[in-house]
Structure 1
Amino acid sequence: MKIVLDPQIYNMQRYGGISRYYTEIFSLLEKEENIEIITPLNNSTNIYFNNSVLNSFRQKRYGTLIKFFKKIKLDKRLKIYNISKFKFQKTLLKGKFDLFIPTYYDIGFLKYINDKPFVLTVYDMIHELFPQYFVNSEQLVENKLFLIEKADRIIAVSENTKKDILKLYPHINKSKIDVVYHGTSIQIKDSIETILPEKYILFVGTRAIYKNFLFFINSVSELLRKEDGLFLVCAGGGNFTNLENQYILNLGLENKILFKSFADDELGYFYKHAECFVFPSQYEGFGIPILESMACGCPVVLANHSSFPEVAGDAGVYFELNDSNDLANKIAALVCNKSTRECFSSKGIDQAKKFSWQKAALECRAVYEKACNYK
């Protein structure tokens, strides 16, 4: 089975959940018998791709171009990009492949693949469910629906995502949607260069509106004031905005809420040494940080909705969405009780073992073979 992996997500993200997903899955599929992965990518700044076995395919095809890519001027780089794009289109037009995998929702590939099958992965339906949080997302939503309708098969990253697709678009045949969960490859280092407080609550990642960050820090503010040695560490997601800094200042917590950047291989240490990880998001397609936290033995506090119960199972400490008092109480129950923390830490480690990239890759292969009508 020859699979063309669309490079668009690697051109969009330097790092991110979607590009990590495809890198993990296809690095494993490449090892499978009777599978050939074609990645027509000329140059990428994506850290997952560049550090993966997928990069070796690129080197074989475009090694000469890549060798000198960083040494040449921008206008010539653009020419090389256009050459690479042309080669990608030419690869598709030749039709010497069995399956095409789009990595995001650009529909441009459709005019080049003719009648070849393609499998679309849907990561979430957040733009459709929360349009008020996004600007100029109409085209993305339109393209996404078009691809959902045209795809030979669809992979949803959770049962909740599948349910959302069918709720929003009931005309879609539910039998062509397969659910394949994510895995995690997070590692825990013995030490890191970043200095962390001895006792802290952890928040990880971006702080978009639907992530409920301001609601969260307001909820935990009283506990932070009461517990002298307790801090909130916000890992990644960029420096605090002016609005966030002002909100933190108004709460009088400028010395208790800390922003910390981290290298990709340091995140496991952040989870491992936290009192708990709080995931107050209103919605996610899956929620990889939940899985990462559990794998590191860090108890997770999260809302009892969306895809979250699928991921956390009985290892999650659940609060009622948008109930500030309930969230504060659930966090305090972990921070102030070591035996409770240890209980949920153990549950989380066991729950995380149910998920793996190896399992996800095998399930993706089965879906891809269905699309190609392989027996």
Structure 2
Amino acid sequence: MKIWFVNKSNSSFIIQDYEILKRHFDMGNSHDFDVAFSWFANWKSAYAVQKAKKLGKKSVVVIGGYDVAYEPSIGYGAFTKFKETIPAKYVLKNADLLLPVSQFTKREILERIGRKKIRGEIHVVYNGVDTKKFIPSKEKEDIIFSMGRKSKEKLKGIDTFFEAMKFLPYKYEVIGYEKTIPHDEVAKKLSIGKIFCQLSWRESFGMGIAEAMSCGCVPVVTHRGAIPEVVGDVGIYVSYGDPYQTLIAVECAFRLHRFLSERVRKRIQLHFPLERREKTLVEMIECI
């Protein structure tokens, strides 16, 4: 079986999927393939779905969240922009297999389109964390991390994070704020931290949260989107946009770190290991 991996990217989670499929299948191209595999319902994946349909081939699309989001108050999501809604709807209606990264994202697919209009199957396949790469350092430091680009301050709650940090005596850093850094460097940074804040308006999965938890960082997060699916009962929840709640939660997280750190990592090892995603992806594609 040959896989046409449609939209290669420098995003770590997309690279991971490419490496997974490369290990198990022959890699084809747009002229020679059995299955077209795409990330996100966009123009590139719409072209791949249309071509696969025309040739009698199969199409698989991972729904990452932005592609089904409608958040007009912060100007986020494909469904807030007419030109992005067109390919998103086509993909959701016509792909043979949709793989949302969370139950939250699956619900959004059904809200946007409705099950009767979707031709293919829908299966949630959670993102996976390389728990052998994202490991806690033996020498943890009193550092608080968050993650997100400067251009996404409102979406990621970074403005709230900075406001809360003004009143705390600890070192802190927003990873990737000014520029994207290598994945290995992200793992190195998270390994020494104790607390990870993701104060987002929404997360369709929360890869940064999961990787930080794998490193034993106690999560301080909002109860939005798919975040509760990832964090469960091993984190501390705060309201979106509330710096006062955030600083209290961070102080609490520091006090609880030695009790929660192992539980936090264990949750990722049990529920979101990369090996599970690999096994499920391969099985899904082989059975399509």
- Once the two structures are TM-superposed, the CA of residue 169 in structure 1 deviates from its matched residue by 1.8
For 1:364 and 1:21, how far apart are their aligned partners in 2?
A: 12
- Once the two structures are TM-superposed, the CA of residue 274 in structure 1 deviates from its matched residue by 1.5
Gapped runs of 5+ residues in structure 1?
Answer: 31-35, 41-87, 92-96, 192-196, 240-260
Q: Equivalent residue for 2:35?
A: 99
The answer on whether the counterparts of 2:92 and 2:113 sit within 8 Å (CA) in structure 1 is no
Percent same amino acid among aligned pairs? Answer: 19
Q: Equivalent residue for 2:129?
A: 184
- Once the two structures are TM-superposed, the CA of residue 125 in structure 1 deviates from its matched residue by 4.0
Match of 1:129 among 60, 66, 70: 70
Cα-to-partner distance string for 1:44-84 (whole Å, 9 max, x where unaligned)? xxxxxxxxxxxxxxxxxxxxxxxxxxxxxxxxxxxxxxxxx
Q: 1:25 to 1:145 in 2, by over 3 A?
A: farther
- Once the two structures are TM-superposed, the CA of residue 268 in structure 1 deviates from its matched residue by 2.2
Compare CA radii of gyration and give the structure with the larger one.
1
Q: Equivalent residue for 2:4?
A: 5
Q: TM-score, normalising length from structure 2?
A: 0.84
For 1:111 and 1:117, how far apart are their aligned partners in 2?
A: 10
Classify the secondary structure of the residue corresponding to 2:229: helix
- Once the two structures are TM-superposed, the CA of residue 38 in structure 1 deviates from its matched residue by 1.7
Q: Equivalent residue for 1:109?
A: 48
Gapped runs of 5+ residues in structure 2?
Answer: none
List structure 1 runs of 4+ shifted beyond 6 angstroms.
none
Q: Equivalent residue for 2:90?
A: 146
Match of 2:233 among 314, 317, 332: 314
Cα-to-partner distance string for 1:196-223 (whole Å, 9 max, x where unaligned)? x953211123240311111221133222
Q: Equivalent residue for 1:120?
A: 61
Q: 1:126 to 1:222 in 2, by over 3 A?
A: farther
- Once the two structures are TM-superposed, the CA of residue 345 in structure 1 deviates from its matched residue by 0.8
Which one-letter code corresponds to 1:19 in the other structure? I
Q: Equivalent residue for 2:246?
A: 327
Q: 1:322 to 1:98 in 2, by over 3 A?
A: same
Match of 1:220 among 146, 158, 165: 165
The answer on whether the counterparts of 1:117 and 1:152 sit within 8 Å (CA) in structure 2 is yes
For 2:35 and 2:67, how far apart are their aligned partners in 1?
A: 27
For 1:23 and 1:357, how far apart are their aligned partners in 2?
A: 13
- Once the two structures are TM-superposed, the CA of residue 157 in structure 1 deviates from its matched residue by 0.5
Q: How many residues align?
A: 273
Classify the secondary structure of the residue corresponding to 1:22: helix
2:146 equivalent to 1:203:
yes
For 1:189 and 1:313, how far apart are their aligned partners in 2?
A: 20
For 2:211 and 2:201, how far apart are their aligned partners in 1?
A: 19
Which one-letter code corresponds to 2:111 in the other structure? K
Match of 1:292 among 194, 205, 211: 211
Q: TM-score, normalising length from structure 1?
A: 0.65
For 1:143 and 1:220, how far apart are their aligned partners in 2?
A: 41
- RMSD between aligned alpha carbons? 2.8
Match of 1:25 among 13, 20, 25: 20
Classify the secondary structure of the residue corresponding to 1:119: strand
The answer on whether the counterparts of 1:126 and 1:284 sit within 8 Å (CA) in structure 2 is no
For 2:26 and 2:142, how far apart are their aligned partners in 1?
A: 46
For 2:36 and 2:181, how far apart are their aligned partners in 1?
A: 35
Which one-letter code corresponds to 1:38 in the other structure? M
Cα-to-partner distance string for 1:124-149 (whole Å, 9 max, x where unaligned)? 04663224425994322210110110
For 1:200 and 1:168, how far apart are their aligned partners in 2?
A: 40
The answer on whether the counterparts of 2:196 and 2:217 sit within 8 Å (CA) in structure 1 is yes
Q: 1:110 to 1:27 in 2, by over 3 A?
A: closer
Which one-letter code corresponds to 1:356 in the other structure? P
- Once the two structures are TM-superposed, the CA of residue 328 in structure 1 deviates from its matched residue by 1.8
Q: Equivalent residue for 1:363?
A: 280
Q: 1:174 to 1:314 in 2, by over 3 A?
A: farther
- Once the two structures are TM-superposed, the CA of residue 3 in structure 1 deviates from its matched residue by 3.2
2:105 equivalent to 1:164:
no
Classify the secondary structure of the residue corresponding to 1:311: helix
Which one-letter code corresponds to 2:86 in the other structure? E
Which piece of structure 1 moves more, 153-162 or 118-127? 118-127
For 2:119 and 2:201, how far apart are their aligned partners in 1?
A: 25
